[in-house]
Amino acid sequence: MNRDAQAFLDRGDLLAALLTARKSLKSSTLSVEAWRISAAASKARDLPEAVYYQENLFRLEPSQANFLELIRLTLHFGELGYALEALKTVVPAAREDPEFHRLAATVY
């Protein structure tokens, strides 16, 4: 299902990508790729659930890039309380990134 979802995403069929990735998540909530596709498709459709998908992606794959994207999305969708909570889980490597400090200042 993830391959199909990625193919839909690559073709720009965002709705089909999101629906297929969500179907994949019903089978396994541990699928990093399904969370990634869901986050990308919902972000591209400008849907607030992108925050939820990105948070779960970060939970399973706590990288600096996933963390910064989570903060960006919380700001974009006006989820400041969510952003404050997310800042508490900062990835150590992000502390050295000027983008992290810019985003944190925006949140505060």
pLDDT at 20: 97
Cα–Cα distance list, 85 to 47, 71, 90, 104, 108 (Å): 20, 10, 10, 11, 12
pLDDT surpassing 90 at residue 37: yes
**Phi-psi label, residue 12: left if phi above 0, alpha if psi -120 to 50, beta otherwise:** left
Q: What is the pTM of this model?
A: 0.92
Q: In sequence order, what are the residues at sequence separation of 6 or more whose Cβ sits closer than 8 angstroms to the Cβ of residue 11?
A: none
pLDDT surpassing 90 at residue 95: no
Q: What's the whole-number mean pLDDT along residues 58-63?
A: 94
Nearest CA-CA partner of 25 in 52, 44, 63: 52
Q: Give 7-36 as a DSSP string.
A: HHHHHT-HHHHHHHHHHHHHH-TT-HHHHH
